């Protein structure tokens, strides 16, 4: 089958990859659309050890099932959770499968990803896409779930003043979900396209220089840059909460004494719940499609990654050739 392949920090298009076979308890899924995420760009930069097919944001269709799996999934349009836990370690047994110590992660660790014509995932990872949610929306389920993880971890009050630092792929989704709380939301947005999208959604954006120091009850750091972290740290009020929604390359230096003196709570936040994400798109309360900036076939994967990596770049969608015809 056709797929994109990362090896030695190089991305190549290949059409010689054998189609995966579903093991018992797995489903074989034909990929309808896939999305490029910041983590994919980091895999290519070599921030994580990875060789294989990247990609973990997708919407697809179940085309076959491993031995013993019931047929109700057959032909279903699905999205899939990306963590594949072992089921037996202490984290799994405590009910934190996304933190399984031996976990495989679709397109990120030990499991071939979604930038391919087909992928396999355990059936228990799948969620049916409701009617009325288009493929172009459903492909955002995974990052939208990650945005919702903020509300899963932190109580956001309708009266809170909330700042999102960074209006990229994840920052814009976080802004959309935070706006649902009724909180007083501002988004630090640098790029005209980001500012326009926020404006269309009726969400206030501000320039970095205008941000009130110690002015926010909750600050979401979604820029992934040390400068963004420093900005977010300055913006959070004493006893406020700083949500870290991005990973950082390497180590980061911070003044921990000031975190203690100001009694700031720092919350690391990663993968989130799929069903609420699907519900919010079904009801139309969230429509992530304005984030789409380009659609490419796998053969143009290199161009797609280049566009996604541009400063202020938003969502790039990959389309298996079969669909494009």
Q: Does 86 bind a second copy (CB under 8 A)?
A: no
Q: Does 214 bind a second copy (CB under 8 A)?
A: yes
Residue 228 and residue 222: Cα distance in Å, rounded? 8
Q: Does 233 bind a second copy (CB under 8 A)?
A: no
Residue among 84, 146, 72 at smallest CA distance from 119: 84
Q: Does 264 bind a second copy (CB under 8 A)?
A: yes
- Give the residue with the Cβ less far from a second copy, 15 or 90: 90
User: Cβ 186 to a second copy, closest distance in Å?
Assistant: 17
In this structure, the number of other CB atoms found within 10 A of the CB of residue 21 comes to 10
User: Cβ 85 to a second copy, closest distance in Å?
Assistant: 12
- Give the residue with the Cβ less far from a second copy, 138 or 222: 222
Residue among 164, 171, 209, 212 at smallest CA distance from 188: 164
- Give the residue with the Cβ less far from a second copy, 237 or 282: 237
User: Cβ 86 to a second copy, closest distance in Å?
Assistant: 14
User: Cβ 178 to a second copy, closest distance in Å?
Assistant: 18
Which of 63, 91, 292, 322 is the binder for a second copy (CB under 8 A)? 91
User: Cβ 321 to a second copy, closest distance in Å?
Assistant: 34
User: Cβ 259 to a second copy, closest distance in Å?
Assistant: 4
Q: Does 244 bind a second copy (CB under 8 A)?
A: yes
Residue 54 and residue 113: Cα distance in Å, rounded? 5
Q: Which two tokens stand for residue 83?
A: 């963590």
Q: Does 270 bind a second copy (CB under 8 A)?
A: yes
Whether the Cβ atoms of residue 121 and residue 27 lie closer than 8 Å to each other: yes
Residues contacting 91, CB < 8 A, separation 6+: 85, 97, 99, 100, 101
| Number of residues forming the site for a second copy (CB under 8 A) | 36
Which of 207, 238, 303, 321 is the binder for a second copy (CB under 8 A)? 238
Pairing of strands 184-188, 161-165: parallel
How far from the centroid of its chain's Cα atoms is residue 268's Cα?
14
- Range in contact with a second copy (rule: CB under 8 A) among 15-23, 80-88, 93-101, 174-182: 93-101
Residues contacting 321, CB < 8 A, separation 6+: 2, 117, 297, 298, 299
User: Cβ 38 to a second copy, closest distance in Å?
Assistant: 12
Q: Does 63 bind a second copy (CB under 8 A)?
A: no
Q: Does 158 bind a second copy (CB under 8 A)?
A: no
- Own/partner pairs for 197-200, CB < 8 Å, 24+ apart? 197/167, 197/172, 197/290, 197/291, 197/314, 198/167, 198/172, 200/290
Q: Does 155 bind a second copy (CB under 8 A)?
A: no
Point out which residues bind a second copy (CB under 8 A): 91, 96, 99, 101, 153, 214, 229, 237-239, 244-257, 259-270
């Amino acid at each position: 089958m056709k797929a994109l392949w990362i090896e030695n920090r190089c991305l190549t298009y290949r059409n010689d990859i054998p189609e995966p076979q579903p093991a018992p308890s797995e489903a074989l899924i034909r990929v309808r659309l896939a999305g490029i995420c910041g983590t994919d760009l980091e895999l290519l930069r070599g921030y994580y050890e990875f060789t294989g097919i990247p990609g973990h944001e997708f919407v697809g269709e179940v085309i076959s099932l491993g031995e013993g799996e019931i047929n109700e999934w057959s032909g279903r349009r699905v999205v899939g959770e990306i963590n594949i836990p072992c089921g037996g370690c202490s984290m799994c047994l405590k009910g934190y499968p996304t933190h399984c110590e031996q976990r495989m992660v679709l397109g990120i660790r030990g499991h071939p990803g979604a930038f391919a014509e087909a992928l396999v995932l355990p059936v228990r990872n799948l969620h049916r896409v409701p009617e009325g949610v288009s493929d172009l929306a459903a492909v955002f389920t995974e990052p939208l779930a990650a945005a919702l993880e903020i509300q899963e971890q932190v109580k956001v009050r309708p009266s809170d003043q909330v700042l999102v630092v960074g209006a990229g792929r994840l920052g814009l989704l976080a802004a959309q979900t935070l706006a649902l709380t009724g909180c007083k939301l501002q988004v630090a947005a640098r790029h005209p396209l980001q500012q326009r999208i926020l404006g269309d959604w009726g969400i206030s954006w501000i320039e970095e220089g205008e941000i009130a120091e110690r002015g926010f009850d909750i600050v979401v750091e979604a820029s992934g840059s040390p400068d963004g972290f420093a900005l977010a740290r300055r913006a959070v009020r004493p006893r406020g909460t700083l949500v870290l929604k991005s990973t950082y390359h390497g180590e980061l230096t911070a003044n921990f004494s000031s975190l203690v003196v100001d009694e700031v709570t720092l919350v690391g936040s990663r993968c989130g719940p799929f069903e609420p994400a699907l519900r919010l798109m079904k009801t139309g309360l969230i429509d992530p499609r304005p984030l789409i900036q380009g659609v490419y076939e796998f053969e143009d994967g290199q161009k797609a990654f280049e566009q996604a990596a541009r400063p202020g770049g938003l969502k790039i969608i990959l389309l298996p050739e079969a669909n494009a015809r």
